Amino acid sequence: FIDGCNDPKYCTVEAETRDNYLGIARWFRAWFYYDKLTTYGEVPWFPNDIQSYQNDVMYKDRDSRDVIIRNLIADLDFAYEHIQATSSTGSATLTRWAAAALKSRVCLFEAAYRRYHNLTGLEITPEELYREAAKAAKLVIDNSGCSLNTAAGKKGAYRDLFYSETPLTQEVILAVCANEKSGIFGEQNWWFNARSYGLCWSLVRSFVHTYLKQDGTPFTAAADYAVKSFAEEMEGRDLRLEQTVRGRNFLWDGKTAVADIKNLSLTGYQVIKYTLDESKYDGGAKNINSIPLIRYAEVLLNYAEAQAELGVLTDSEWALTVGALRKRAGITGGTETLPTTVDSYLQRTFYPDVTSPVLLEIRRERTIELLQEGHRYYDLIRWKEGKAFTQPLLGLYIPAKGEYDIDGDGTPDVYFATKGETPSTTAKLTLVIDQDILFSDGDHGYISPHKNNPGIWDETRDYFYPIPTDDRSLTGGALTQNPGWNDGLNF
């Protein structure tokens, strides 16, 4: 398409119209190559359509990261300058702001990757890329008219962004739209609420503990934070927590419901961010809520991180970005000025080599705000924090076997029984220890679905995926396998 548009023999429309569609095409090319860069590292860059006889081109070696990032920036700059749309009904159409926002994402990834992986021999410095990221984000902040959704709405200012059928366009820059009228449906409920499809994705306790209290102080500052009950964990916290998991007052089909720790939630922190709260949407592709792909919130976080990495983030910029996101989440403290104290729990648990309180708090905010939006894995990759994948995957703290009231409403929700026990209980659910559920300490402790086994991470290998090894990629060409993968056979 790009080649054809640039050839006057085939494309005779006026330049402004042609360049609009060229901008859209080049946006998608940038999206495609950004995915390849983050997944495989250096890849071949193909600026033109490949003909069947061009074997020397088809099987060429990887291009350098400099070549790839220069072309990504060029594509997104062209898209920003020539895409005509500046707004979109339903956020389903590419706008110039989607181009600037994606550029901020792309440049931020590459800047951090070069800095934290200590890449040498490249022409473009991390500082240059951080500046490009900040510049692109600032275009959106200053000119797009976008703003954070702060209306309480049906499910809350945060969850409404993922619950609504029609995207909240003041914040959602680009979305995949679903609605019954058009016959386009999502699969979120099927994935999160049915064992026939989903994988029981749920949050882990170490991450849940990073949500701040509403006064802006760390939850983990309390001496007994590690043994607090679920209801205590939810009390007085960042409002996004109970708009992300089934909390104390969650309603399922209009009735109070806790996490389904027998069938759907391996840890007890059952995700609701993308689901609808009625069972009629389960068991198939039936969801009518749209899915944001690019949000203004991400742009704010991209800007804050780039400026912080450059050492120039100001108090006013903190208030505009991280502070604004925390205010929306009901947090009252620390929203106007840069943080000056390191949260030892956050540092010790996730980022032991980071000493800047500003960078630590930006990382906290990014992880919470953009949860399950496709960023966390690649953030850890670019920050060279793969060791975070090796943490034990633990859930709710259960102090003893017997009855347990998950939501703190005074009624037992589950009875944890030993094998052979016939309990007398009013709890709706009985789970047999070491059969239906595992704990970190025998008959009590943290729910431990993998019995304390840490994740697996190879620091020398796993920052890249393996290159597929069939005839379409490696055979007959110069493209080599990524380090440590032995032609992709040792997963």
- The per-residue pLDDT for range 200-243, each reduced to its tens digit, is 899 999 999 999 999 999 999 999 999 999 999 999 999 999 99
Residues 6+ apart with CB under 8 A from 62: 41, 42, 43, 44, 479, 480
- The per-residue pLDDT for range 173-200, each reduced to its tens digit, is 999 999 888 899 999 999 999 988 998 8
* Tokens, residue 290: 């749209």
Which pLDDT does position 488 carry in this prediction?
A: 46
Which pLDDT does position 335 carry in this prediction?
A: 98
**C-alpha–C-alpha distance, residues 111 and 131, integer Å:** 9
Helix (H) or strand (E) run with residue 4 in it: helix 2-5
Ramachandran assignment for 445, one of left (phi > 0), alpha (psi -120 to 50 degrees), beta (any other): left
pTM here?
A: 0.96
**C-alpha–C-alpha distance, residues 177 and 169, integer Å:** 12
Which pLDDT does position 452 carry in this prediction?
A: 73
Which pLDDT does position 383 carry in this prediction?
A: 98
Walking along the chain (491 residues) 10 residues at a time, the average pLDDT comes out as: 92 95 98 97 93 87 96 98 90 93 98 98 98 98 97 95 95 93 93 91 96 98 97 97 97 96 95 97 95 97 98 98 98 98 97 98 98 97 95 94 96 96 94 95 94 85 86 63 72 41
* Tokens, residue 234: 């939810």
User: What is the number of alpha carbons within 13 Å of residue 480 lying toward its C-beta?
Assistant: 6
**C-alpha–C-alpha distance, residues 21 and 298, integer Å:** 26
Place of tokens 């205590």: 232
**C-alpha–C-alpha distance, residues 234 and 247, integer Å:** 7
